[in-house]
Structure 1
C-alpha cells in the first residue's frame, strides 16, 4: 500500500500547484477584464484585441461605438476590448486650438 501511495503522491501534489500557478491567476485576470469592460464610458480611448485603437463614442449593453478615424464609427462587441488606454476626454493633439 505505501508503494501505491508514493506513486500517486507526485500527481496529488501537482493538482494544487496547477491551481495556484495557472487557474487562479487566470480567473483573477478574467475578473479584472470584466470589471474594465463594465466601466467603459464615452470618451475612453480603447485598444481592441485586433490591435485597432479608437475612442468610445457610444456605449450600449453588449456593444460600443468606436470612432477609429474622424467621422468613421464602427460597432464593436464589448468582449473584444483588450485595453482601456486613457480615461476621460483627452484633447486631440492634431486639432487646432481656437
Structure 2
C-alpha cells in the first residue's frame, strides 16, 4: 500500500499532463489534417506565412498550387492555416 502511495503523485502528474497538454494537441492535429484533406479547388485560403490566395490545383503528394497577387505558387497543404482561413471565410460582422 505504501508503494502505491509513493507513486500516486507521479501517476496524477502524468494524468494531468495528458488531459491538458497531449490530448488537446492530438485533437488539434487531427482537425488540421482533416481540414487539409477537405480543401478543394476554388477555396480562398491563407498560409501560415500570411499569403492570401485561391487554391487552383490539388495533388496527391500533399501539395497544392495557390494563386495570389504575386502569381502561382506551390505549397504543402500543411502550410495552409486552418484558423486564419476560417477567419477569412467567416461572415463579416455588420458595423453599427
Structure richer in helix, relative to its length: 2
Query: Shift in Å at residue 8 of structure 1?
Result: 2.8
Range with greater deviation from structure 2 (77-86 or 36-45):
77-86
> What residue in structure 2 maps to residue 86 of structure 1?
89
Structure 1: segments with no counterpart, 5+ residues: 88-98
Partner SS state of residue 34, structure 1: helix
Structure of greater Rg:
1
Structure 2: segments with no counterpart, 5+ residues: 91-96
Check if 1:20 corresponds to 2:51. no
1:48-59 matched pairs, under 5 angstroms: 48-59=47-58
Partner SS state of residue 81, structure 2: strand
> What residue in structure 1 maps to residue 68 of structure 2?
68
Structure richer in strand, relative to its length: 1
Query: Shift in Å at residue 43 of structure 1?
Result: 0.9
Q: TM-score, normalised by structure 2?
A: 0.77
Alpha-carbon distance between aligned partners in 2 of 1:14 and 1:86, rounded to the nearest angstrom: 40
Alpha-carbon distance between aligned partners in 1 of 2:74 and 2:89, rounded to the nearest angstrom: 19
Count the aligned residue pairs.
85
> What residue in structure 2 maps to residue 96 of structure 1?
none
Range with greater deviation from structure 2 (44-53 or 32-41):
44-53
